[in-house]
Structure 1
């Protein structure tokens, strides 16, 4: 019987090795798998390459992972924000490597990995520092830069609902990079707020099929100060 439900975050994250490339979902603070990131800090893997749209916010989540010293390199589109002081300090002190990738390229490079595409030509970045050292080509009068896929050893993503086969759907903007990361990684771990019985998910609503998912873990919603619950993205 296929059952991809893990009892704990620690169980789901077991086996992540030093030097892994970790794809972490999220767009700013939307869809960040905070519980999995905290679990990864506790798990103790080091020398990681992290792929995310941003480079952390404030002192929690991805920023906390960076501050722990576990990350050797980050591949992202927006490393500098008003509250990205953890990354800023690490980068200025030469303690972390940065690969800056335009947002569309970032998504497409992971999509290419999941689709088995060896490389692709893209116009974004041509004539800039981002194209330095890369192969370029003129096609039909337009200049392109050769880009390669980004493969992950593991993807950490946040979904809304899942079943024991690992089928997932998402809530609004929390979907962001989750689907392409799940396809691009050798191993995908997802948190969900609800686990339903097989057949309860409308097949048309399944965004990430279970074939791309190895483990899911149910997490609680975040309580608000007013005593209710926040439908967190």
Structure 2
């Protein structure tokens, strides 16, 4: 693989994401969404996608634009409450949804990127997360077509006390899409504050990681101690510039004193 991982267009960056692919996508709400890559994927026309991301954007932004065009077959997410079309497709049986506790989802992505097949956690013990029965796809008539299966629960001694833990399998995907504030030609990335969120973990989980960066710099210009994601996890880098649209789900303001 060449050390210069830059690509010139978004279309080139996503060109091999075919129908039926699985993707891990960074972002939390609308913060840190790789919108240029998502829009290029929409234009490409690939469908039947299985996507892992904290949430699915809103109706007209983020991953929501893929959902609105019926490109997504399955979502693995922690939160789904900002998208009316998501609700409609799920309840009508058009969309499969695997709800996963947020910390567990993060660790499943990290484990996948680290070569760890599975791990035990106390999160979800005693609930349908462990016991099974969570609806994953409805039949369109109010019944459940696909439900989650029971997971392995095992007892471990923690500080002298026996506690149950549920086994969670790691997540790996065909591709991952992330947005970063800065990147170099070798793929080393720096994220901006809370926009880091799930992005490094999503990037690690993808067999091919595609990163859009606001600023492209030369190798060596990023202090090694400032690197949030090493270039070993990144395969393509697309510079998108700083003049890109960034949205907020719900803007909350108050009138200033004396106004």
Aligned partner of residue 238 in structure 2, secondary structure: strand
Q: Deviations over 1:63-120 (max 9, x none)?
A: 1111111110000000123xx1120111121110000000000000011111111211
The residue that corresponds to 2:227 in the other structure is 206
> Is the contact between residue 110 and residue 180 of structure 1 (CA under 8 Å) also seen in structure 2?
yes
SS in 1 for 2:221: coil
1:48 and 2:49 aligned: yes
Tell me which residue corresponds to 1:63.
64
- Which of the two has higher C-alpha Rg? 2
Q: What is the match of residue 129 of structure 1?
A: 128
- Alpha-carbon distance in 1 for matches of 2:86, 2:8: 32
**Paired residue for 1:177, among 198, 208, 211?**
198
Distance change in 2, residues 1:167/1:86 (3 Å)? same
Residue in 2 that maps onto 1:78 = 79
- Cα distance in structure 2, aligned partners of 1:223 and 1:44: 23
Q: CA RMSD in A?
A: 1.6
What is the TM-score normalised by the length of structure 2?
Answer: 0.83
Question: Is contact 1:59–1:86 with CA below 8 Å preserved after alignment?
Answer: no
Find the aligned partners of 2:164 and 2:108 in 1 and give their Cα distance. Answer: 18
What's the counterpart of residue 12 of structure 1? 13
Give SS of 2:111's match: helix
Q: Deviations over 1:17-42 (max 9, x none)?
A: 22111111001111011111111111
Q: Structure 2 unaligned segments of length 5 or more: list them.
A: 133-149, 249-259
The match for 1:118 is: 117
**Does the residue aligned with 1:187 lie in a helix, a strand or coil?**
strand
State the alpha-carbon separation in 2 of the partners of residues 128 and 231 from structure 1.
35
CA distance in 2, matches of 1:181, 1:52: 8
1:38 counterpart residue number: 39
Asked if the contact 1:50/1:73 (under 8 Å) is kept, the reply is yes
Residue 189 of structure 2 is matched in structure 1 by 168
Runs of 4+ in structure 1 deviating by more than 2 angstroms, as ranges, are: 220-224
Bigger proportion of residues as strand: 2
Instruction: Give distance in 2, aligned partners of 1:213 and 1:18.
Output: 22
CA contact (8 A) 1:56 1:87 kept: no
Distance 1:223 1:4, change over 3 A: closer
